[in-house]
Structure 1
Amino acid sequence: MTLVTDVADMQALARRRVPKMFYDYADTGSWTQSTYRENEAALQRQKLRQRVARNIDNRSIKTTMIGQDVAMPVALAPVGLTGMQHADGEILAAQAAEEFGVPFTLSTMSICSIEDVAEHTKSPFWFQLYVMRDRGFSERLMQRADAAGCSALVLTLDLQVLGQRHRDLKNGLSAPPKPKPLVLADLALKPRWCWNMLRTGRRQFGNIHGHVSGVDDMSSLAEWTN
C-alpha cells in the first residue's frame, strides 16, 4: 500500500506488519466487547457543525489544553504495549506528537519507560496512572513522572477489576512473545517487525520491569495486579 487515506488503510497496514497478539490487543475489548462497540458508535455519531458564508482567510484550529498551546484540540491517548506494536513505539509516538504540536500521554503499561521517553523528547508529556494495590509503587511512579517533567497526570478510574480479554488469552499474549509454535509461525510472517525488535532492548514493561520484583510478562503482571 503506497497511499494511506484513512484509518481503515492504517488498520490494514497494521494487520500486515504487527503480530496478531499485539494487533488484537490494540483492537479489542474485554468480555463481550459491548463497551468497545458502543464507544466506536458514539464517536461515529459526532459531527462537526458546518457554517457557511463566513470569512475563512485566517482559520485556525490552534487552542490550549490545560494551559498548554496545541496545534489542534487532540491528545494522543495512553496505549499499553505501544512498544510492541513497533520497536520503541512510545518514543516514536511522543516525538511525532511533539513535532505536530499536540500532547502525548504515556501509559503505565508502556514498553518504553518514563525515563526513556523523557530522554528522547524535549516537550513535557502527560503520564497515565493505574493506581495499583501496591500504593508504594504508585507513589514511586508519580515521583518518576514528576522528575521526568511530565506536565499532567491522567488517572484511569474505571478499572477496579481487570476485564478478561478473550483474544489475549487465545493469542497467549506476552511481552516479549513466548516461543510457541503458533507465535513463531506468526512472527515469521512479520520480518520487519522482528528485525526492528531485535535492534532495540526495550521489550518488557519499562515502567514496571526492574521496579517490581518478579514482574516480567503479562501473566506475572496480572498476578501482581490482582
Structure 2
Amino acid sequence: MKIHGATLLITGANRGIGLAFAREALSRGARKVYAGARDPASVTLPGVEPIALDVNDDAQVAAAARQCADVTLVINNAGIASPGGFLADGGIASARAQMETNFFGPLRVSQAFAPVLAAHGGGAILNVLSVASWINSPMLSVYGASKSAAWALTNGLRNDLRAQGTQVLGLHMGFVDTDLTRGIDMPKTSPDEVVRRAFDALEAGAEEVLGDELTQQVKRGLSAEPGIYLRDARG
C-alpha cells in the first residue's frame, strides 16, 4: 500500500499521533486526507479535510463512509486512556468507556469502510495498538485490556478482509510523547518517528510493525519462560 496518491481517513486526527499521521501522509504525497475528530473545528492542519467523526456514534460513522467514499486507507487512531486497575472504584465504568472507544470504535469504522475499500481494490486498514496489548501494570490495567481486544480485532479483520485484498496492519508501540501520556514519567518516542515506521511498514506490505525499542523487547519476551506478560510491567 503506497501513501503517494492514496486517500486517507484518520480518526482522532486533530492531535497527537493522528495529527502526525496526517502531516506525514501529506508529505508523502497523499491525494487527500480526511481528518476525523469529534469537533472538526479542532483540526487546524492545512491541506486536510476536517470531518465530524465520533467513533462511538453509529450515525456519524455511517455518514463518514458515505462522505468519504473515495478512501483507500483507514487509520483507526482515535483512543482514550484512563489510569486505574480492574478493582478500583469505577473500574467497570472505566472498562466500558475504554472498550467502547478503543475496541468498538475501530470495529464500527472498519465495518463501515470495508465496502469502500473493496470498491477501490482492497486498500488498507492501519490499527493503532499498544505494547499494553501484551503486558500490564496497575496504572494501565483496564486500558491494556481494551488494547488486547483491539489486537484481537486487528487479527480477525486481517482474516475477514484478506479475500477482498485489504492489507491490515497492527501498530504496537510504547509511550509516545503526546497529550495522552502527559504526566507519565517514562521514556517516550516522538509521534513522528512512530508514524514514519508505521508508513514504511505499510508500504513494505507488512501486517505488523513495532514502533519502538521497548515494544521490540516486549515482543521477544512473549516467548520467554516465564513469559514477560506474567510480570508487572513496572518490574
Q: TM-score surpassing 0.5?
A: no
TM-score by length of 1: 0.29
> Quick check: which one's helix share is greater?
2
TM-score by length of 2: 0.28
Of the two, which has the highest radius of gyration?
1
> Quick check: which one's strand share is greater?
2
